[in-house]
Amino acid sequence: MSQESPHDMIIRIDTVDQLFNAPEIDPLSEKPAVVLGEAALSYTVRQALSQGARHWKSRRLVICLPRDQISSETQSKTVAAVRRYAAVKQDDNNARVRISRQRAWVALGVAIAIAAVALIAVAITVNTVLASASDAIKGLLAGIATIFIWATVWNPVDRLVFEWVGPSMENRILRAIALTEIVIETEAA
């Protein structure tokens, strides 16, 4: 067992499978991902995101396993699997962003069409039915229409402008994990 650095990302699991597959929830475990019943690599990526993990050149990903789970092939197979997972997850995140943007553009088009209809309806109503109404009533109707239009357009614009941020940040961590040194160690007794 090598000396762990304070910069190391430590993953403590019972089997290599728990890196990628969620185990059953076990609040009696000492291993955070097992306590939560979550795949350890996903848990680790989220923890790295929450800590703003940087400077990956000085970091290692240390996977601590029970001695009986480590064989001569464990290191090479696990490193290859982590790198493959990181690459595929990045591709999946990129696809999710592309799909989200496509849907947001369609939704924005629909929202703009609805907004145009609402503006035309308000203009017609103010100039015909409410032509003799007070300016306060006309202003109230215009205000309600403005809020309706804003609410209709907000979600597509929000998705276009901000929804890519989370997957992009996750991809930054995944790229770093794929390039960092990955070490399998026997867990401390």
Give the strand pairing for 9-12 and 181-186: unpaired
> What is the distance between the alpha carbons of residues 184 and 72, in angstroms, rounded to a whole number?
11
Identify any residues that bridge with 184 across adjacent strands, giving them in sequence order. 63
Tell me, yes or no, whether 76 and 105 share the same domain.
no
Stretch 89-100: mean pLDDT:
95
| pTM recorded for the entire structure | 0.78
Does any domain span residue 2?
no
Q: Taken in order 173, 105, 160, 100, is the CA torsion positive or negative? A: negative
Q: Each residue of 25-54: pLDDT tens digit?
A: 999 999 999 999 999 999 999 988 888 766
Tell me, yes or no, whether 19 and 64 share the same domain.
yes
Would you state the pLDDT for residue 1?
46
pLDDT beyond 70 at 64: yes
State the average pLDDT for the chain: 89
User: If you count DSSP H runs as helices and E runs as strands, how many of each does the chain have, helices first?
Assistant: 5, 3
The number of distinct structural domains making up the chain is 2
Q: What's the domain range around 70?
A: 9-86+175-186
pLDDT beyond 80 at 89: yes
Share of the chain above pLDDT 70, in %: 94
Tell me, yes or no, whether 13 and 82 share the same domain.
yes
pLDDT band at 6 (very low <50, low <70, confident <90, very high): low
Q: Each residue of 120-140: pLDDT tens digit?
A: 998 898 888 888 888 898 889
Identify any residues that bridge with 61 across adjacent strands, giving them in sequence order. 9, 182
